[in-house]
Amino acid sequence: MFLLAYEISNPVVIPVAIFLSFGALTWLLLSHFMDKDDRAERRLQELSDPRRKSEGGKENKTEVLTRALEKASPRLAKPLAPKTEEEMSKLKQGLVEAGFRSEGAPMVYLSIRAITAIVFLCAGGGISFLLYGFSMTAAIRAIGIAGAGFFLPTLILGQLTKRRKQQIFQGLPDALDLLVVCVEAGLGLDQAMRRVSQEMKKSYRIVAEEFGLCNLQLQMGRARSQVLTDLGIRTGVDDLRSLASILIQADKFGSSIANALRVQSDAMRVRRQQIAEEKAAKTAVKLIFPLVLFIFPGIFVVLVGPAGIQMARDMFPAMGG
């Protein structure tokens, strides 16, 4: 009884118990989502893919995690799902600009936000209660950590979108030059885009994938104007939107596509050069802070330090005498 009373009175035991309870509850929820109808789905997958049956049902950890996330995403994402079609369209557009084009991408993204919020709440709440005990400070810190986990996927998605747009912007002038060469060699626009998607797989993979997707849509029978418009909307890059408008106008009025592509390529190269010059001009201003904070103090100590030491040794004793 004395030992039990000591353990209950110990301030570390109760926060640890709460943290373990949160972890157990999260594990039970995830196991519930993972195990429901799991055997039936595995049986259907074995019937559809005989190689899975020959491998003895062994699955990769990534496949198990992906399947569990896809299964749990509708329930986890339901509280966070957009209420209107406009918000859902905006969410889908943001995911498409980041390169996620599947139908289940919005639900998976929202479920990831929910999971990260729960994980950060459990971890941050346990650590906060261990450090500060049961107090308002610990609760506020736990809620703040959970909010950080909730918005972390949004920040990562924004960085992925920014990096993808930057890669498209860097590779688009070379793609346009190759399009000009192909069109002037006698190929049509469809064949030229197919050639560009084949040649730029190693250098600019994202640009090659976008042009390859345009080729697939053209082969399915969609109108060229609609395919080009979707290309600009799907990537979210203004240069591709202007390129799509120029190509649609050239196709509509019967003007030379090669000249339109050359003009657009020159304009993009000029813009890329201007961006590089702007960054070079900002470099001098950005160097002021490391110079003042780190380099100048070191130079000052090296140059003035010996003189100061000499003055302290010779002049100050003489002045004092």
Q: How many CA atoms lie within 13 A of 106 on its CB side?
A: 15
Q: How far apart are CA 123 and CA 239, in angstroms?
A: 44
For residue 271 the two structure tokens come to 């813009």
Model pLDDT for residues 239-260, shown as the tens digit of each residue: 888 888 888 888 787 777 888 8
- Measure Cα distances from 264 to 59, 74, 214, 241, 256 in Å: 49, 44, 19, 11, 13
For residue 199 the two structure tokens come to 């040649």
* pLDDT attached to residue 68: 62
Contacts with 278 (C-beta within 8 Å, 6 or more apart), sequence order = none
* pLDDT attached to residue 4: 40
Model pLDDT for residues 114-130, shown as the tens digit of each residue: 888 888 888 877 777 77
CA 32 to chain centre: 29
Contacts with 152 (C-beta within 8 Å, 6 or more apart), sequence order = 116, 120
Task: Report the interhelical angle of 238-253 vs 224-235 (nearest 10°).
Answer: 170
% of the chain beyond a pLDDT of 90: 1
Q: How far apart are CA 203 and CA 172, in angstroms?
A: 11
pLDDT-derived band at 36 (thresholds 50, 70, 90) equals very low
* pLDDT attached to residue 40: 54
Q: How far apart are CA 128 and CA 138, in angstroms?
A: 5
Q: How far apart are CA 121 and CA 113, in angstroms?
A: 12
Place of tokens 């373990």: 20
DSSP assignment string, 14-35: HHHHHHHHHHHHHHHHHHHHHH
Domain ranges of the chain: 7-134, 165-282
Side chain identity, residue 82? P
